[in-house]
């Protein structure tokens, strides 16, 4: 399984980020342009995940995104786990939306 850091993802021009957290977690903090498919819905919504570009998979701290990355790779998607999830993204000082607004 491939993995990378939040800083490396942020340095990519127009990265496709897939956030596999639950809706309640998104209300706390989220990335403005990320696609959201909760991990529990990923199998049913697989056709919504792009196959023509790298998909960077994000969750809270990296556990669920690792599971999602392994599943996506098995389905032929070029998926990369974002180590440390949104917590590491926040700690790196990278842009995100905090709260509902």
DSSP notation for 17-42: EEE-S-HHHHHHEE-TT-EE--GGGT
Cβ-Cβ contacts under 8 Å for 84 (sequence gap 6 or more): 5, 6, 61, 62, 91
Dihedrals phi, psi of 90, to nearest 5 degrees: -60, -45
Residues marked as catalytic = 59
Cβ-Cβ contacts under 8 Å for 69 (sequence gap 6 or more): 1, 2, 3, 57, 79, 80, 81
């Amino acid at each position: 399984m491939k993995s990378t850091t939040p800083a490396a993802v942020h340095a990519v021009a127009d990265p496709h980020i897939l956030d596999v957290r639950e809706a309640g977690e998104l209300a706390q903090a989220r990335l403005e342009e990320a696609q959201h498919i909760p991990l529990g819905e990923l199998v049913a919504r697989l056709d919504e995940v792009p196959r023509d570009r790298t998909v960077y998979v994000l969750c809270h701290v990296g556990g669920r995104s690792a599971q999602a990355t392994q599943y996506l790779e098995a389905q032929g998607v070029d998926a990369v786990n974002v180590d440390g999830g949104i917590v590491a993204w926040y700690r790196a000082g990278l842009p995100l939306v905090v709260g509902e607004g």
